[in-house]
Chains A and B, each alone.
Chain A
Amino acid sequence: MADMKYTQEHEWIRIEGDTGTIGISAYAQEQLGDVVFVDVPQAGRKVAKGDSVAVVESVKAASDIYAPASGEVIEANAALADTPGDINVEPMGKGWFFKMKLADKSELDGLMDQAAYDAFVKSLG
Protein backbone atom coordinates (compact mmCIF):
# COMPACT_ATOMS: atom_id res chain seq x y z
CA MET A 1 0.00 0.00 0.00
CA ALA A 2 1.53 3.25 -1.14
CA ASP A 3 1.86 5.98 1.42
CA MET A 4 1.33 9.61 0.29
CA LYS A 5 2.94 12.54 2.08
CA TYR A 6 3.22 16.26 1.42
CA THR A 7 5.76 18.99 2.14
CA GLN A 8 5.16 22.62 3.02
CA GLU A 9 6.52 23.44 -0.44
CA HIS A 10 3.51 21.69 -1.96
CA GLU A 11 5.41 18.64 -3.15
CA TRP A 12 4.03 15.17 -2.77
CA ILE A 13 5.97 11.96 -2.29
CA ARG A 14 4.47 8.53 -2.84
CA ILE A 15 6.36 5.97 -0.79
CA GLU A 16 6.51 2.37 -1.97
CA GLY A 17 9.01 0.31 -0.04
CA ASP A 18 12.25 2.27 -0.07
CA THR A 19 11.31 4.09 -3.26
CA GLY A 20 9.73 7.54 -3.37
CA THR A 21 8.04 9.23 -6.34
CA ILE A 22 7.99 13.02 -6.21
CA GLY A 23 5.73 15.60 -7.85
CA ILE A 24 3.88 18.83 -7.09
CA SER A 25 0.35 19.12 -5.74
CA ALA A 26 -2.77 20.22 -7.59
CA TYR A 27 -2.69 23.41 -5.55
CA ALA A 28 0.91 24.10 -6.61
CA GLN A 29 0.22 23.66 -10.31
CA GLU A 30 -2.79 25.96 -10.01
CA GLN A 31 -0.64 28.67 -8.43
CA LEU A 32 2.01 28.33 -11.13
CA GLY A 33 -0.32 28.37 -14.13
CA ASP A 34 0.54 26.67 -17.40
CA VAL A 35 3.81 24.85 -16.92
CA VAL A 36 6.18 25.46 -19.83
CA PHE A 37 9.42 23.88 -18.72
CA VAL A 38 10.71 21.33 -16.26
CA ASP A 39 14.29 20.48 -15.40
CA VAL A 40 14.46 17.07 -13.73
CA PRO A 41 17.54 15.46 -12.13
CA GLN A 42 19.47 12.69 -13.85
CA ALA A 43 19.29 9.15 -12.61
CA GLY A 44 22.23 8.36 -10.38
CA ARG A 45 22.40 11.77 -8.76
CA LYS A 46 22.91 11.62 -5.00
CA VAL A 47 20.79 14.15 -3.17
CA ALA A 48 20.50 15.33 0.41
CA LYS A 49 17.22 16.30 2.03
CA GLY A 50 16.43 19.92 1.19
CA ASP A 51 18.67 20.08 -1.90
CA SER A 52 17.24 21.93 -4.86
CA VAL A 53 17.00 19.12 -7.41
CA ALA A 54 14.52 20.20 -10.06
CA VAL A 55 12.96 23.34 -11.49
CA VAL A 56 9.44 23.94 -12.73
CA GLU A 57 8.58 27.02 -14.73
CA SER A 58 5.49 28.74 -16.02
CA VAL A 59 5.61 31.82 -18.23
CA LYS A 60 5.89 34.22 -15.29
CA ALA A 61 7.18 32.10 -12.43
CA ALA A 62 9.84 29.60 -11.58
CA SER A 63 9.99 27.31 -8.57
CA ASP A 64 12.66 25.03 -7.24
CA ILE A 65 11.77 21.49 -6.27
CA TYR A 66 13.54 20.25 -3.16
CA ALA A 67 14.42 16.71 -2.29
CA PRO A 68 12.02 15.72 0.52
CA ALA A 69 14.57 13.19 1.74
CA SER A 70 18.13 12.04 1.10
CA GLY A 71 18.97 9.29 -1.33
CA GLU A 72 19.67 8.64 -4.99
CA VAL A 73 17.62 9.56 -8.03
CA ILE A 74 16.72 6.38 -9.91
CA GLU A 75 14.46 7.68 -12.67
CA ALA A 76 13.33 11.02 -14.06
CA ASN A 77 10.12 11.60 -15.96
CA ALA A 78 11.62 12.18 -19.39
CA ALA A 79 8.19 12.72 -20.98
CA LEU A 80 7.85 16.08 -19.22
CA ALA A 81 10.43 17.62 -21.56
CA ASP A 82 7.95 17.35 -24.43
CA THR A 83 4.70 17.61 -22.52
CA PRO A 84 5.23 19.81 -19.45
CA GLY A 85 1.48 20.45 -19.51
CA ASP A 86 1.06 16.98 -17.97
CA ILE A 87 1.81 18.66 -14.66
CA ASN A 88 -1.28 20.83 -15.05
CA VAL A 89 -3.48 18.01 -16.28
CA GLU A 90 -2.43 15.24 -13.91
CA PRO A 91 -0.15 16.65 -11.22
CA MET A 92 -0.49 13.53 -9.11
CA GLY A 93 -0.29 11.13 -12.03
CA LYS A 94 1.66 11.39 -15.26
CA GLY A 95 2.98 14.77 -14.09
CA TRP A 96 5.39 13.10 -11.62
CA PHE A 97 8.95 14.50 -11.59
CA PHE A 98 11.36 11.81 -10.46
CA LYS A 99 11.73 8.64 -8.41
CA MET A 100 14.39 8.19 -5.79
CA LYS A 101 15.78 5.47 -3.55
CA LEU A 102 15.28 6.68 0.02
CA ALA A 103 18.33 6.51 2.27
CA ASP A 104 16.46 6.98 5.52
CA LYS A 105 12.69 6.80 5.58
CA SER A 106 12.54 8.36 9.02
CA GLU A 107 13.38 11.66 7.34
CA LEU A 108 9.82 11.67 6.05
CA ASP A 109 8.27 11.52 9.49
CA GLY A 110 7.67 15.24 9.74
CA LEU A 111 5.72 15.45 6.47
CA MET A 112 1.97 15.97 6.23
CA ASP A 113 -0.53 13.27 5.37
CA GLN A 114 -3.45 13.96 3.04
CA ALA A 115 -5.76 15.34 5.72
CA ALA A 116 -3.09 17.57 7.20
CA TYR A 117 -2.12 18.87 3.77
CA ASP A 118 -5.73 19.60 2.82
CA ALA A 119 -6.07 21.61 6.02
CA PHE A 120 -2.79 23.39 5.26
CA VAL A 121 -3.98 24.43 1.79
CA LYS A 122 -7.28 25.58 3.24
CA SER A 123 -5.44 27.75 5.74
CA LEU A 124 -3.72 29.54 2.88
CA GLY A 125 -7.09 30.81 1.69
Chain B
Amino acid sequence: MRYLPLTDADRRDMLGVIGVKSVDELFRDVPQSARLGGKIAGLPDHLGELEVERAFQAYAAKNVSSSVAPFFIGAGAYRHHVPATVDYMIQRGEFLTSYTPYQPEITQGTLQYLFEFQTQVTLLTGMEVANASMYDGSTGTSEAVLMANRVTRRSKALLSGGLNPQYRRIVETTAHWQGFKAVSGKPDAEGLEDLIAAVDKETSCVVVQNPSFFGHVRDFGKLAEACHAAGALLIVVVTEVVSLGLLKPPGEMGADIVVCEGQSIGNGLGFGGPYVGLFATRDKYMRQMPGRLVGETVDADGKRGFVLTLSTREQHIRREKATSNICTNAGLCALAFTVHLTLLGEAGFRRLAEINHTKAAQLADKVSALPGVKVLNDSFFNEFTISLGKPAAPVVEALAARRILGGVPASRLLPDDKSVENLLLLAATETATDEGMAALVAGLKEVL
Protein backbone atom coordinates (compact mmCIF):
# COMPACT_ATOMS: atom_id res chain seq x y z
CA MET B 1 0.00 0.00 0.00
CA ARG B 2 1.54 3.26 -1.13
CA TYR B 3 1.04 5.17 2.11
CA LEU B 4 2.53 2.50 4.37
CA PRO B 5 6.33 2.35 4.48
CA LEU B 6 6.71 -0.76 6.67
CA THR B 7 7.57 -3.95 4.78
CA ASP B 8 6.72 -7.41 6.03
CA ALA B 9 10.38 -7.83 6.92
CA ASP B 10 10.29 -4.58 8.92
CA ARG B 11 7.20 -5.76 10.74
CA ARG B 12 8.84 -9.08 11.64
CA ASP B 13 11.94 -7.28 12.95
CA MET B 14 9.88 -4.85 14.98
CA LEU B 15 7.76 -7.60 16.51
CA GLY B 16 11.03 -9.29 17.48
CA VAL B 17 12.29 -6.19 19.25
CA ILE B 18 8.98 -5.85 21.07
CA GLY B 19 9.12 -9.55 21.97
CA VAL B 20 5.79 -10.69 20.62
CA LYS B 21 4.95 -13.17 17.89
CA SER B 22 2.19 -11.31 16.11
CA VAL B 23 0.55 -7.94 15.99
CA ASP B 24 -2.57 -9.58 17.42
CA GLU B 25 -0.76 -9.83 20.73
CA LEU B 26 -0.50 -6.05 20.83
CA PHE B 27 -4.28 -5.87 20.71
CA ARG B 28 -4.70 -8.28 23.61
CA ASP B 29 -6.39 -5.66 25.79
CA VAL B 30 -9.33 -5.57 23.39
CA PRO B 31 -12.12 -7.77 24.77
CA GLN B 32 -12.44 -11.00 22.81
CA SER B 33 -16.04 -10.28 21.81
CA ALA B 34 -15.07 -6.97 20.21
CA ARG B 35 -12.18 -8.25 18.10
CA LEU B 36 -13.05 -8.33 14.43
CA GLY B 37 -11.81 -11.45 12.76
CA GLY B 38 -11.38 -10.59 9.13
CA LYS B 39 -12.24 -7.49 7.20
CA ILE B 40 -15.31 -5.43 7.95
CA ALA B 41 -18.05 -6.69 5.64
CA GLY B 42 -19.68 -4.50 3.05
CA LEU B 43 -16.77 -2.21 2.27
CA PRO B 44 -14.58 -2.34 -0.84
CA ASP B 45 -10.83 -2.93 -0.92
CA HIS B 46 -8.22 -0.27 -1.66
CA LEU B 47 -7.93 1.62 -4.95
CA GLY B 48 -4.98 3.02 -6.86
CA GLU B 49 -4.67 6.75 -7.35
CA LEU B 50 -6.07 6.60 -10.89
CA GLU B 51 -9.18 4.77 -9.71
CA VAL B 52 -9.70 7.23 -6.87
CA GLU B 53 -9.51 10.11 -9.30
CA ARG B 54 -12.09 8.45 -11.54
CA ALA B 55 -14.44 7.93 -8.63
CA PHE B 56 -14.37 11.62 -7.83
CA GLN B 57 -14.68 12.62 -11.46
CA ALA B 58 -17.87 10.57 -11.47
CA TYR B 59 -19.19 12.49 -8.46
CA ALA B 60 -18.24 15.80 -10.04
CA ALA B 61 -20.02 14.90 -13.28
CA LYS B 62 -23.32 14.64 -11.40
CA ASN B 63 -23.07 18.26 -10.24
CA VAL B 64 -23.37 21.60 -12.01
CA SER B 65 -20.11 23.45 -11.44
CA SER B 66 -20.58 27.10 -10.49
CA SER B 67 -18.05 28.04 -13.15
CA VAL B 68 -20.12 26.76 -16.10
CA ALA B 69 -23.47 28.39 -15.36
CA PRO B 70 -24.58 31.99 -14.96
CA PHE B 71 -24.31 32.29 -11.20
CA PHE B 72 -26.15 34.59 -8.74
CA ILE B 73 -26.24 32.63 -5.48
CA GLY B 74 -25.20 34.18 -2.17
CA ALA B 75 -27.05 34.03 1.16
CA GLY B 76 -23.92 33.59 3.25
CA ALA B 77 -21.42 32.17 0.74
CA TYR B 78 -20.13 34.09 -2.25
CA ARG B 79 -18.40 33.18 -5.46
CA HIS B 80 -15.26 35.25 -5.97
CA HIS B 81 -12.15 34.92 -8.05
CA VAL B 82 -9.29 33.57 -5.95
CA PRO B 83 -5.81 34.31 -7.34
CA ALA B 84 -3.70 31.25 -8.22
CA THR B 85 -1.04 32.37 -5.75
CA VAL B 86 -3.40 31.72 -2.85
CA ASP B 87 -3.93 28.07 -3.64
CA TYR B 88 -0.24 27.55 -4.29
CA MET B 89 0.66 29.01 -0.92
CA ILE B 90 -1.80 27.00 1.13
CA GLN B 91 -0.63 23.80 -0.55
CA ARG B 92 2.96 24.26 0.56
CA GLY B 93 3.55 21.32 2.85
CA GLU B 94 5.13 23.49 5.53
CA PHE B 95 1.77 25.18 5.99
CA LEU B 96 -0.58 22.38 4.95
CA THR B 97 0.92 19.63 7.09
CA SER B 98 1.91 21.54 10.21
CA TYR B 99 -0.26 21.57 13.30
CA THR B 100 -1.30 24.12 15.89
CA PRO B 101 1.90 26.04 16.69
CA TYR B 102 2.58 24.55 20.12
CA GLN B 103 6.36 24.75 19.55
CA PRO B 104 6.90 28.38 18.57
CA GLU B 105 10.60 27.94 17.75
CA ILE B 106 9.68 25.80 14.73
CA THR B 107 6.29 27.24 13.79
CA GLN B 108 7.05 30.93 13.34
CA GLY B 109 5.61 30.68 9.84
CA THR B 110 2.15 29.81 11.10
CA LEU B 111 2.39 32.18 14.06
CA GLN B 112 3.45 35.15 11.97
CA TYR B 113 0.73 34.73 9.36
CA LEU B 114 -1.85 34.41 12.13
CA PHE B 115 -0.53 37.63 13.67
CA GLU B 116 -0.87 39.28 10.25
CA PHE B 117 -4.36 37.79 9.96
CA GLN B 118 -5.39 39.13 13.37
CA THR B 119 -4.16 42.57 12.38
CA GLN B 120 -5.99 42.48 9.04
CA VAL B 121 -9.21 41.51 10.81
CA THR B 122 -8.96 44.44 13.21
CA LEU B 123 -8.38 46.81 10.30
CA LEU B 124 -11.32 45.55 8.23
CA THR B 125 -13.77 45.53 11.13
CA GLY B 126 -12.53 48.71 12.80
CA MET B 127 -12.04 46.83 16.05
CA GLU B 128 -9.14 46.67 18.50
CA VAL B 129 -8.35 42.99 18.83
CA ALA B 130 -9.08 39.81 16.87
CA ASN B 131 -8.45 36.13 17.42
CA ALA B 132 -6.72 33.62 15.15
CA SER B 133 -10.08 32.59 13.58
CA MET B 134 -13.15 30.52 14.32
CA TYR B 135 -14.60 27.53 12.44
CA ASP B 136 -16.80 29.88 10.40
CA GLY B 137 -19.10 32.87 10.71
CA SER B 138 -22.10 30.87 11.86
CA THR B 139 -20.43 29.12 14.79
CA GLY B 140 -18.54 32.33 15.56
CA THR B 141 -21.87 34.11 16.01
CA SER B 142 -22.92 31.61 18.61
CA GLU B 143 -19.57 32.01 20.41
CA ALA B 144 -20.03 35.80 20.34
CA VAL B 145 -23.36 35.51 22.13
CA LEU B 146 -21.82 33.22 24.76
CA MET B 147 -19.05 35.76 25.22
CA ALA B 148 -21.55 38.60 25.65
CA ASN B 149 -23.32 36.52 28.28
CA ARG B 150 -20.02 36.13 30.15
CA VAL B 151 -19.14 39.81 29.90
CA THR B 152 -22.55 41.11 30.99
CA ARG B 153 -23.42 38.20 33.31
CA ARG B 154 -26.84 38.25 31.64
CA SER B 155 -28.60 35.62 29.63
CA LYS B 156 -30.96 37.10 27.07
CA ALA B 157 -29.87 37.63 23.47
CA LEU B 158 -31.97 39.56 20.94
CA LEU B 159 -31.54 38.26 17.39
CA SER B 160 -32.40 40.49 14.47
CA GLY B 161 -34.81 39.34 11.79
CA GLY B 162 -32.08 40.38 9.37
CA LEU B 163 -29.75 37.67 10.67
CA ASN B 164 -29.14 34.71 8.37
CA PRO B 165 -31.82 32.19 9.45
CA GLN B 166 -29.29 29.37 9.80
CA TYR B 167 -27.11 31.54 12.05
CA ARG B 168 -30.20 32.35 14.07
CA ARG B 169 -31.04 28.69 14.51
CA ILE B 170 -27.50 27.89 15.61
CA VAL B 171 -27.75 30.52 18.35
CA GLU B 172 -31.20 29.22 19.30
CA THR B 173 -29.84 25.66 19.50
CA THR B 174 -26.98 26.81 21.70
CA ALA B 175 -29.41 28.81 23.84
CA HIS B 176 -31.68 25.84 24.37
CA TRP B 177 -28.95 23.41 25.40
CA GLN B 178 -26.64 25.79 27.21
CA GLY B 179 -29.45 27.49 29.08
CA PHE B 180 -29.96 31.07 28.00
CA LYS B 181 -32.72 32.96 26.25
CA ALA B 182 -32.65 33.86 22.56
CA VAL B 183 -35.43 36.13 21.32
CA SER B 184 -35.66 36.22 17.54
CA GLY B 185 -37.21 38.93 15.41
CA LYS B 186 -39.47 38.13 12.46
CA PRO B 187 -37.73 37.88 9.08
CA ASP B 188 -37.03 41.48 8.10
CA ALA B 189 -37.31 41.45 4.33
CA GLU B 190 -37.95 45.21 4.11
CA GLY B 191 -35.02 46.25 6.30
CA LEU B 192 -37.18 48.34 8.61
CA GLU B 193 -36.74 46.52 11.90
CA ASP B 194 -36.03 48.67 14.95
CA LEU B 195 -34.73 46.81 17.98
CA ILE B 196 -33.96 49.79 20.19
CA ALA B 197 -37.18 49.53 22.18
CA ALA B 198 -36.58 45.83 22.82
CA VAL B 199 -33.26 46.34 24.61
CA ASP B 200 -33.71 46.12 28.37
CA LYS B 201 -31.74 45.49 31.56
CA GLU B 202 -31.83 41.73 31.05
CA THR B 203 -30.43 41.92 27.54
CA SER B 204 -26.89 40.61 27.21
CA CYS B 205 -26.56 41.41 23.53
CA VAL B 206 -28.29 42.34 20.31
CA VAL B 207 -27.16 40.48 17.20
CA VAL B 208 -27.59 42.24 13.87
CA GLN B 209 -26.23 41.50 10.41
CA ASN B 210 -24.87 44.05 7.96
CA PRO B 211 -25.63 43.85 5.10
CA SER B 212 -28.61 41.89 6.37
CA PHE B 213 -29.65 38.47 5.12
CA PHE B 214 -31.99 40.28 2.72
CA GLY B 215 -29.19 42.63 1.66
CA HIS B 216 -30.09 45.87 3.42
CA VAL B 217 -27.31 48.17 4.60
CA ARG B 218 -27.96 49.88 7.92
CA ASP B 219 -26.19 52.14 10.40
CA PHE B 220 -26.37 50.61 13.84
CA GLY B 221 -24.87 53.56 15.71
CA LYS B 222 -28.11 54.41 17.53
CA LEU B 223 -28.69 50.78 18.41
CA ALA B 224 -25.15 50.59 19.81
CA GLU B 225 -25.88 53.59 22.01
CA ALA B 226 -29.10 52.01 23.25
CA CYS B 227 -27.27 48.76 24.00
CA HIS B 228 -24.55 50.51 25.94
CA ALA B 229 -27.05 52.58 27.89
CA ALA B 230 -28.72 49.35 28.96
CA GLY B 231 -25.44 47.58 29.70
CA ALA B 232 -25.76 45.24 26.72
CA LEU B 233 -23.31 44.51 23.91
CA LEU B 234 -23.89 45.00 20.19
CA ILE B 235 -22.77 42.10 18.02
CA VAL B 236 -22.51 42.84 14.32
CA VAL B 237 -22.35 39.89 11.93
CA VAL B 238 -20.97 40.30 8.41
CA THR B 239 -21.46 37.34 6.07
CA GLU B 240 -19.98 39.08 3.01
CA VAL B 241 -16.61 40.35 4.17
CA VAL B 242 -15.86 42.08 0.85
CA SER B 243 -18.51 44.64 1.83
CA LEU B 244 -16.03 46.06 4.36
CA GLY B 245 -14.05 47.48 1.47
CA LEU B 246 -16.86 49.89 0.79
CA LEU B 247 -18.99 50.17 3.92
CA LYS B 248 -18.48 51.94 7.20
CA PRO B 249 -16.98 49.27 9.49
CA PRO B 250 -18.95 47.95 12.48
CA GLY B 251 -16.28 49.28 14.83
CA GLU B 252 -17.21 52.83 13.78
CA MET B 253 -20.86 52.07 14.53
CA GLY B 254 -20.04 51.16 18.11
CA ALA B 255 -20.05 47.38 17.82
CA ASP B 256 -18.61 45.47 20.78
CA ILE B 257 -18.07 42.20 18.96
CA VAL B 258 -17.83 41.70 15.22
CA VAL B 259 -18.11 38.29 13.60
CA CYS B 260 -17.52 37.80 9.88
CA GLU B 261 -17.71 34.87 7.54
CA GLY B 262 -14.34 35.26 5.79
CA GLN B 263 -14.97 32.78 2.96
CA SER B 264 -15.19 35.45 0.29
CA ILE B 265 -11.52 36.27 0.62
CA GLY B 266 -9.24 33.43 -0.42
CA ASN B 267 -11.63 30.56 0.08
CA GLY B 268 -13.71 28.85 -2.55
CA LEU B 269 -17.37 27.93 -2.21
CA GLY B 270 -16.52 24.32 -1.35
CA PHE B 271 -20.18 23.34 -0.92
CA GLY B 272 -20.31 25.07 2.45
CA GLY B 273 -17.01 24.43 4.15
CA PRO B 274 -14.43 24.64 5.44
CA TYR B 275 -14.69 28.41 5.76
CA VAL B 276 -13.11 30.85 8.18
CA GLY B 277 -14.72 32.87 10.97
CA LEU B 278 -13.36 36.31 11.82
CA PHE B 279 -13.85 37.37 15.42
CA ALA B 280 -12.97 40.84 16.73
CA THR B 281 -13.76 42.83 19.83
CA ARG B 282 -12.63 45.65 22.12
CA ASP B 283 -9.39 45.43 24.13
CA LYS B 284 -11.31 45.43 27.38
CA TYR B 285 -13.00 42.14 26.46
CA MET B 286 -9.80 40.44 25.26
CA ARG B 287 -9.69 37.87 28.02
CA GLN B 288 -13.28 36.83 27.45
CA MET B 289 -12.63 35.87 23.82
CA PRO B 290 -12.90 32.30 22.63
CA GLY B 291 -10.33 30.67 20.39
CA ARG B 292 -6.62 30.96 19.92
CA LEU B 293 -4.63 34.20 20.09
CA VAL B 294 -1.17 34.91 18.75
CA GLY B 295 0.95 37.55 20.45
CA GLU B 296 4.27 39.21 19.78
CA THR B 297 7.27 38.64 22.04
CA VAL B 298 11.04 38.12 21.84
CA ASP B 299 13.24 35.04 21.90
CA ALA B 300 16.28 34.36 24.09
CA ASP B 301 18.41 36.36 21.64
CA GLY B 302 16.07 39.33 21.76
CA LYS B 303 14.69 38.71 18.28
CA ARG B 304 11.03 39.36 17.58
CA GLY B 305 8.91 36.24 17.52
CA PHE B 306 5.34 35.14 18.00
CA VAL B 307 3.63 32.73 20.39
CA LEU B 308 0.18 31.47 21.26
CA THR B 309 -0.81 33.54 24.25
CA LEU B 310 -3.49 34.10 26.89
CA SER B 311 -3.95 30.33 26.80
CA THR B 312 -5.36 30.22 30.28
CA ARG B 313 -8.76 31.01 28.73
CA GLU B 314 -8.68 27.71 26.92
CA GLN B 315 -9.94 24.22 27.61
CA HIS B 316 -6.58 22.50 27.94
CA ILE B 317 -5.80 24.64 31.00
CA ARG B 318 -9.13 25.90 32.31
CA ARG B 319 -11.04 22.69 31.56
CA GLU B 320 -14.60 23.16 32.87
CA LYS B 321 -14.04 26.91 33.34
CA ALA B 322 -12.79 27.56 29.80
CA THR B 323 -14.32 30.35 27.72
CA SER B 324 -15.13 27.75 25.06
CA ASN B 325 -14.38 24.12 24.28
CA ILE B 326 -12.76 25.12 20.99
CA CYS B 327 -9.29 23.85 20.08
CA THR B 328 -9.27 23.96 16.30
CA ASN B 329 -9.36 27.19 14.38
CA ALA B 330 -9.46 27.49 10.63
CA GLY B 331 -5.69 27.93 10.27
CA LEU B 332 -5.27 27.10 6.62
CA CYS B 333 -8.40 29.02 5.57
CA ALA B 334 -7.06 31.95 7.59
CA LEU B 335 -3.84 31.68 5.59
CA ALA B 336 -5.82 31.74 2.35
CA PHE B 337 -7.63 34.82 3.61
CA THR B 338 -4.40 36.56 4.57
CA VAL B 339 -2.58 35.78 1.34
CA HIS B 340 -5.51 36.94 -0.78
CA LEU B 341 -6.01 40.11 1.23
CA THR B 342 -2.28 40.85 1.04
CA LEU B 343 -2.41 40.49 -2.74
CA LEU B 344 -5.39 42.84 -2.86
CA GLY B 345 -3.93 45.46 -0.55
CA GLU B 346 -5.72 48.70 0.23
CA ALA B 347 -6.35 49.70 -3.37
CA GLY B 348 -7.27 46.23 -4.61
CA PHE B 349 -9.65 45.47 -1.76
CA ARG B 350 -11.49 48.74 -2.22
CA ARG B 351 -11.63 48.23 -5.97
CA LEU B 352 -12.95 44.70 -5.56
CA ALA B 353 -15.72 45.94 -3.28
CA GLU B 354 -16.59 48.72 -5.73
CA ILE B 355 -16.85 46.25 -8.62
CA ASN B 356 -19.12 43.97 -6.58
CA HIS B 357 -21.44 46.81 -5.73
CA THR B 358 -21.53 48.05 -9.29
CA LYS B 359 -22.37 44.61 -10.67
CA ALA B 360 -25.17 44.19 -8.16
CA ALA B 361 -26.53 47.66 -8.93
CA GLN B 362 -26.56 46.83 -12.64
CA LEU B 363 -28.35 43.56 -11.97
CA ALA B 364 -30.90 45.23 -9.72
CA ASP B 365 -31.69 47.77 -12.43
CA LYS B 366 -32.07 45.01 -15.03
CA VAL B 367 -34.38 42.75 -13.03
CA SER B 368 -36.49 45.60 -11.67
CA ALA B 369 -37.46 46.34 -15.25
CA LEU B 370 -39.09 42.90 -15.53
CA PRO B 371 -42.87 42.84 -15.17
CA GLY B 372 -43.96 41.29 -11.87
CA VAL B 373 -40.56 41.78 -10.25
CA LYS B 374 -40.04 44.19 -7.38
CA VAL B 375 -36.67 44.95 -5.81
CA LEU B 376 -37.23 45.27 -2.05
CA ASN B 377 -33.98 47.06 -1.27
CA ASP B 378 -33.25 50.76 -1.29
CA SER B 379 -29.79 49.85 -0.08
CA PHE B 380 -27.53 46.83 -0.60
CA PHE B 381 -23.93 45.81 -1.23
CA ASN B 382 -23.70 42.89 -3.67
CA GLU B 383 -26.94 41.10 -2.86
CA PHE B 384 -30.57 42.12 -2.78
CA THR B 385 -34.04 40.62 -2.51
CA ILE B 386 -36.72 40.59 -5.16
CA SER B 387 -40.39 39.74 -4.84
CA LEU B 388 -41.77 37.65 -7.70
CA GLY B 389 -45.52 37.60 -7.19
CA LYS B 390 -45.33 33.79 -7.09
CA PRO B 391 -43.35 31.22 -5.08
CA ALA B 392 -39.65 31.55 -5.74
CA ALA B 393 -38.50 27.95 -5.20
CA PRO B 394 -40.06 26.54 -8.39
CA VAL B 395 -38.71 29.53 -10.32
CA VAL B 396 -35.19 28.70 -9.16
CA GLU B 397 -35.68 25.05 -10.15
CA ALA B 398 -36.94 26.13 -13.57
CA LEU B 399 -33.88 28.35 -14.00
CA ALA B 400 -31.62 25.46 -12.93
CA ALA B 401 -33.21 23.33 -15.63
CA ARG B 402 -31.96 26.01 -18.05
CA ARG B 403 -28.52 25.76 -16.36
CA ILE B 404 -28.85 29.13 -14.70
CA LEU B 405 -28.03 29.24 -10.97
CA GLY B 406 -30.44 32.07 -10.29
CA GLY B 407 -30.24 32.93 -6.61
CA VAL B 408 -31.64 31.49 -3.38
CA PRO B 409 -35.36 31.36 -2.61
CA ALA B 410 -35.82 32.75 0.91
CA SER B 411 -38.00 29.72 1.60
CA ARG B 412 -34.92 27.47 1.37
CA LEU B 413 -33.80 28.89 4.72
CA LEU B 414 -37.23 29.91 6.04
CA PRO B 415 -39.42 26.96 5.03
CA ASP B 416 -42.10 27.63 7.64
CA ASP B 417 -42.69 31.29 6.84
CA LYS B 418 -45.30 31.89 4.14
CA SER B 419 -44.55 35.61 4.11
CA VAL B 420 -41.23 35.05 2.36
CA GLU B 421 -42.39 32.41 -0.10
CA ASN B 422 -42.20 34.74 -3.09
CA LEU B 423 -38.83 36.24 -2.24
CA LEU B 424 -35.64 35.53 -4.13
CA LEU B 425 -32.14 36.61 -3.05
CA LEU B 426 -29.83 37.56 -5.91
CA ALA B 427 -26.10 38.18 -5.56
CA ALA B 428 -23.64 39.52 -8.13
CA THR B 429 -19.90 39.56 -7.54
CA GLU B 430 -16.96 40.48 -9.76
CA THR B 431 -17.46 37.08 -11.41
CA ALA B 432 -20.81 38.10 -12.89
CA THR B 433 -20.70 38.90 -16.59
CA ASP B 434 -23.00 40.93 -18.83
CA GLU B 435 -23.84 37.72 -20.72
CA GLY B 436 -24.70 35.95 -17.48
CA MET B 437 -26.96 38.78 -16.36
CA ALA B 438 -28.68 38.78 -19.76
CA ALA B 439 -29.22 35.02 -19.47
CA LEU B 440 -30.76 35.42 -16.02
CA VAL B 441 -33.07 38.19 -17.17
CA ALA B 442 -34.13 36.17 -20.21
CA GLY B 443 -34.62 33.08 -18.06
CA LEU B 444 -36.74 34.96 -15.53
CA LYS B 445 -38.83 36.39 -18.36
CA GLU B 446 -39.56 32.86 -19.58
CA VAL B 447 -40.41 31.24 -16.28
CA LEU B 448 -42.30 34.04 -14.57
Contacts and interface: CB of A to CB of B under 8 A. Distances in A.
A37 B311 CA distance: 12
A61 B321 CA distance: 12
A60 B318 CA distance: 10
Interface residues of B, number: 6
A97 B287 CA distance: 19
A50 to B, nearest CB: 16
Contacts of B321: 62, 64
Contacts of B287: 37
B313 to A, nearest CB: 8
Judged by DSSP, the binding face of A is strand
Interface in B308-355: 311-312, 317-318, 321
Interface string A29-48: 00000000100000000000
Interface residues of A, number: 8
Contact of B317 (A37, A61, A64): A61
A2 interface: no
Contacts of A57: 312
A70 B69 CA distance: 70
A60 B317 CA distance: 7
A59 B104 CA distance: 14
A60 B316 CA distance: 9
Nearest to A39: B287
B287 to A, nearest CB: 7
A87 to B, nearest CB: 15
Nearest to B287: A37
Contacts, number: 16
Interface in A43-80: 57-62, 64
A59 B321 CA distance: 16
Contacts of A58: 312
B322 to A, nearest CB: 10
Residue from B311, B312, B318 having most chain A Cβ neighbours under 10 A: B312
A81 to B, nearest CB: 12
A105 B312 CA distance: 34
Nearest to B322: A62
Nearest to A52: B321
Contacts of A61: 312, 317
A51 to B, nearest CB: 14
A64 B319 CA distance: 13
B285 to A, nearest CB: 13
A62 B311 CA distance: 10
Contacts of A59: 311-312
Contacts of A62: 312, 317-318, 321
A57 to B, nearest CB: 4
Nearest to A62: B312
A60 B307 CA distance: 13
Nearest to B319: A62
Contacts of A37: 287, 312
A62 B312 CA distance: 6
Contacts of B312: 37, 57-62
A47 to B, nearest CB: 15
Interface string B273-311: 000000000000001000000000000000000000001
Interface string B161-197: 0000000000000000000000000000000000000
Contacts of B311: 59-60
A64 B287 CA distance: 15
A29 to B, nearest CB: 16
A59 B309 CA distance: 8
A36 to B, nearest CB: 8
Interface in B385-404: none
Contacts of B317: 60-62
Nearest to A55: B312
A64 B312 CA distance: 12
A37 B318 CA distance: 14
A81 B287 CA distance: 13
B129 to A, nearest CB: 15
Interface of A: 37, 57-62, 64
Given A37-B312, A61-B317, 14 more contacts: A37-B287, A57-B312, A58-B312, A59-B311, A59-B312, A60-B311, A60-B312, A60-B317, A61-B312, A62-B312, A62-B317, A62-B318, A62-B321, A64-B321
16 contacts: A37-B287, A37-B312, A57-B312, A58-B312, A59-B311, A59-B312, A60-B311, A60-B312, A60-B317, A61-B312, A61-B317, A62-B312, A62-B317, A62-B318, A62-B321, A64-B321
In the A-B complex, the 8 residue pairs with the smallest Cβ-Cβ separation, listed nearest first, are: A62-B312, A57-B312, A62-B318, A62-B317, A61-B317, A60-B317, A61-B312, A60-B311
